[in-house]
């Protein structure tokens, strides 16, 4: 690979956000999948609304707000116990099975590897520690440092400057189509990790490559 830096989004790319379904089911039987889907949907929507309104709100607070909405939307009640347990589950998300092996391979090849996420460090660092990923990454970078959510141009500009690389020296991977579109718009080469076989959303900002899990990256 020709790139100086390979960047990975976190949620949905490295970590399975729908790990929370199990915890949701414990408190809201037969509604766990729906709650998880709505939770993630509103989490993204609230982050984008925050960016558009130029009114930054910490991603953890947006995650809490999104959870409350999702539970209300399925006609259930949030309790202090359920809220604490489900938010805690976000700090224990499963790592996709192929991630460690692929990261180790790329690290061995000498690539600079970093996480670039909308999540704040106080949410991401525990996940990295829980899965013992720290030795595989050169940096973990959060937009919380500049309070500009992806897919804003400012967010991608920030990470390129921080890593001291030009935009054409970066390969960016994400499972989120809007994130891929934003990175492509900025000038990064992009790989859409289309784990769920979604239909493309941004045909004018086509990713350089589409894969269905990270093992395809090194084939």
Number of Cβ within 10 Å of residue 191's Cβ equals: 23
Kindly list the averaged pLDDT for each block of 10 residues, start to end, along the chain of length 219.
Answer: 92 98 97 98 98 97 98 98 97 97 96 98 97 98 98 98 97 98 98 94 92 92
Q: Is 125 a catalytic residue?
A: no
Same domain, 98 and 201: yes
* pLDDT (0 to 100) of residue 1: 60
Tokens 């790989």 map to which residue?
191
CA gap 54, 154 in Å, rounded: 13
* pLDDT (0 to 100) of residue 203: 84
* Number of domains forming the structure of the chain: 2
Q: Tell me which of 25, 57, 89 is where a domain ends.
A: 89
Q: For residue 176, what are the domain limits?
A: 5-15+94-218
CATH of the domain at 54: 1.10.150.240
Same domain, 112 and 212: yes
Distances in Å between the Cα of 189 and the Cα atoms of 6, 118, 119, 209 are 10, 19, 22, 9
Q: Among the options 9, 16, 144, 179, which is catalytic? A: 9
Q: What tokens does 179 get?
A: 């994130």
CATH of the domain at 187: 3.40.50.1000
Contacts 24+ apart (CB under 8 A), 59-66: 59/118, 59/119, 59/120, 59/123, 59/144, 60/119, 60/120, 60/122, 60/123, 63/39, 63/87, 63/90, 63/123, 66/38, 66/39, 66/40, 66/41, 66/42
Beta-strand relationship, 15-16 and 94-95: antiparallel
CA gap 41, 44 in Å, rounded: 5
């Amino acid at each position: 690979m020709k790139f100086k830096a390979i960047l990975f989004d976190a949620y949905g790319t490295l970590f399975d956000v729908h790990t929370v379904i199990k915890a949701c089911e414990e408190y809201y039987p037969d509604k766990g999948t729906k709650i998880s889907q709505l939770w993630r949907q509103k989490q993204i929507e609230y982050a984008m609304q925050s960016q558009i309104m130029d009114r930054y709100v910490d991603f953890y607070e947006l995650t809490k707000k999104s959870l409350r909405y999702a539970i209300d939307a399925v006609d259930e009640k949030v309790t202090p116990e359920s809220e604490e347990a489900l938010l805690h589950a976000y700090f224990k998300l499963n790592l996709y099975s192929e991630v460690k092996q692929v990261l180790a391979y790329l690290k061995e090849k000498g690539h600079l590897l970093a996480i670039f996420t909308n999540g704040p460090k106080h949410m991401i660092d525990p996940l990295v520690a829980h899965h013992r990923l720290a030795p595989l990454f050169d940096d973990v970078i959060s937009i919380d440092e500049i309070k500009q959510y992806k897919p804003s141009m400012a967010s991608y500009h920030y990470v390129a400057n921080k890593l001291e690389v030009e935009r054409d020296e970066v390969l960016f991977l994400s499972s989120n189509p809007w994130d891929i579109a934003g990175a492509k718009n900025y000038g990064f080469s992009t790989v859409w990790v289309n784990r769920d076989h979604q239909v493309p959303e941004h045909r004018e900002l086509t990713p350089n490559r589409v894969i269905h899990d990270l093992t395809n990256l090194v084939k």
